[in-house]
Chain A
Amino acid sequence: MRTIVFCAALVLAPLLGHAQDPNAGRNLAASCAMCHGTDGRATGAFEPLAGMRADDMVRKLKEFRDDKRPATVMHQIAKGYTERQMELIAAYFAAQKR
């Protein structure tokens, strides 16, 4: 029995991935900064993300992913993220001051 539990842990550990890293949301969100500004505080043509409601952001990202929202690039980038990753990113930006 102990062996089985141990093996299960080994199998599951890699799958948990980001769920295990306390900074997963911050790390994923950092990618967005090169266009949307550090911590999402955009000053240019890109949409500011800091302080955006998390459910709004997840909805938008899914619409981009599903080609249901006009985009130049976000429809291509959103397809690279799982729903869980979108939620982590959205939670991080929601917590940032505008």
Chain B
Amino acid sequence: MRSRFSRRDFLKFSAASAALAAAGCATPSKARVVVVGGGYGGATAAKYLRMWDPAIEVVMVERSDVFTSCPMSNLVLGGTRRIEEVRRRYDGLRAFGVQTVFDEATAVDPAKKIVRLARGGDLAYDRLILSPGIDFQFGEIRGYEEAMRAGRVLHAWTAGAQTIELRRQLEQMRDGGVCVISIPLVPYRCPPGPYERACQIASYFKKAKPRSKVLVLDANPDVTSKTGLFKRAWEDLYKGILEYRGSARAVSVEKPGIVSLEVEDVKADVLNVVPPQRAGEIAIRAGVADAGGRWCNVDWRTMESRAVKGIHVLGDATLSAPGMPKSGSMANQHAKICAAAIVALVNGQSPDPDPKIVNTCYSFVSDTEVIRVSSVHQWDATQNTLVPVKGAGGLSAARNELENRYAWAWANAIWEDMGLRG
């Protein structure tokens, strides 16, 4: 799924380069913004920049020419959706005048304001937006990379090939087998995601392999999101199928078929161990991962890095504001703060001093029923960050089928809002 080199891609890349060169001399734009990453943050930022100021040139660099959504991808594991249904194409962005380059950004020179591409060539920028998502801290779990290469352990925490492989392993598993889902300490991408996944796999087992078990080993002391709603669903729907253990941190996957905790070994037929995470590699190379070398501090009024001027960071890679989850919705909203701020700055105006954004996140607890959490986040000048608005936001009253319909409406709307097409 990543970094395929084909002749077609190369021609596209050459065309893009030629277009960039032409744009540089023939039709001078107000500014060139390079966006690295075409996920919920990057694609939205690219589209909104062009929508709000067509005189800004926007080049989006993305490794894959197909978008695969993490949100909704747990349904592929549950077997009610196919991977194609959570995939979209980037064609829609080009209709907004976004130039797409399918390549990997390998380095950033903030002094020269240049992004280096894997296939060679540099892109100059006036402002850079990094929306790289996450990379994994494989070293935190002994034997992880070797076990992953051997297919003995999967994270499936970036949607795509690993999602497909995890589904295959679940299908091949004997009835009576055990699937372990191991969850890292917060902060990690998509707080409710692992618990939704547990529901989806349990839902599949209940129908297809009723003697099988899902064992959730959570490094956190308790469920980190939608706690009561998930526990209620487990009690009502998956008793005897799904077992949850808190304060159970995975430390090793060196032994085949075993995940080792600090004090004991746990056997499993399918090992879905989600490692701890950090900002995507390019953020670290660009020098913006100033929070422990792991996440990126930003000014939430502009999304500009607090470490390096001229570089903005969006989405999961940021050091989250208080009460703010690492979610696709939030990345989409970060992107709009960022686009508004860059448009203002490029036009010699001040950025909006008082941004306000919304999170909404749906989780499927069965093949039909959904639970949701929402929050509103506003700028707080005394705390110098975004904070949840007190009294706003909240959870679904109970799991329900109505929000299944809204969950899909959200997914289709946000993919379109990102400039993607089916």
* Contacts from A to B (Cβ < 8 Å): 14, 17-18, 20-24, 26-28, 30-38, 42-46, 72-73, 76-81, 85
Contact = CB atoms under 8 A, between A and B. Distances in A.
Contacts of A33: 336, 413, 417
B137 to A, nearest CB: 29
A27 B303 CA distance: 14
A26 B51 CA distance: 12
B297 interface: no
A77 B358 contact: yes
Interface in B389-415: 389, 391-394, 396, 400, 402-403, 405-406, 408-410, 412-414
A5 B408 CA distance: 54
B329 A34 contact: yes
Given A27-B340, A76-B393, A17 B354 contact: yes
Contacts of B357: 31
B416 interface: yes
A33 B408 CA distance: 14
B318 interface: no
Interface of B: 47-48, 51-52, 329, 332-333, 336-337, 340, 344, 349-350, 352-358, 360, 372, 374, 376, 378, 381, 389, 391-394, 396, 400, 402-403, 405-406, 408-410, 412-414, 416-417
A37 B413 contact: yes
Contact of B392 (A23, A31, A45, A76): A76
B416 A80 contact: no
A79 B356 contact: no
Contacts of B336: 27, 30-31, 33
Given A35-B413, A81-B376, A72 B396 contact: yes
Contacts of B405: 45
A38 B355 CA distance: 18
Contact of B353 (A20, A35, A38, A42): A20
A77 B413 contact: no
B417 A79 contact: no
Contacts of B344: 23
B413 A80 contact: no
Nearest to A39: B51
Contacts of A42: 409, 413
Contacts of B51: 38
B389 to A, nearest CB: 4
Q: Could you say which of A23, A38, A73 has the most chain B C-beta atoms within 10 Å of its C-beta?
A: A73
Q: What 3 pairs across the A-B complex have the smallest Cβ distances? A: A80-B376, A80-B392, A44-B409
A23 B376 contact: no
Given A34-B332, A72-B372, A77-B374, A21 B414 contact: no
Nearest to B353: A17
Contact of B408 (A18, A23, A31, A44): A44
A26 B52 CA distance: 10
Given A27-B340, A44-B408, A46-B406, A21 B416 contact: no
B393 A27 contact: no
B413 A44 contact: yes
A37 B344 CA distance: 23
Given A14-B381, A72-B402, A80-B376, A34 B392 contact: no
B372 to A, nearest CB: 6
Given A34-B333, A34-B414, A37-B416, A80 B389 contact: yes
B194 to A, nearest CB: 23
Contact of A38 (B340, B358, B392, B417): B417
B409 A77 contact: no
Contacts of A85: 356
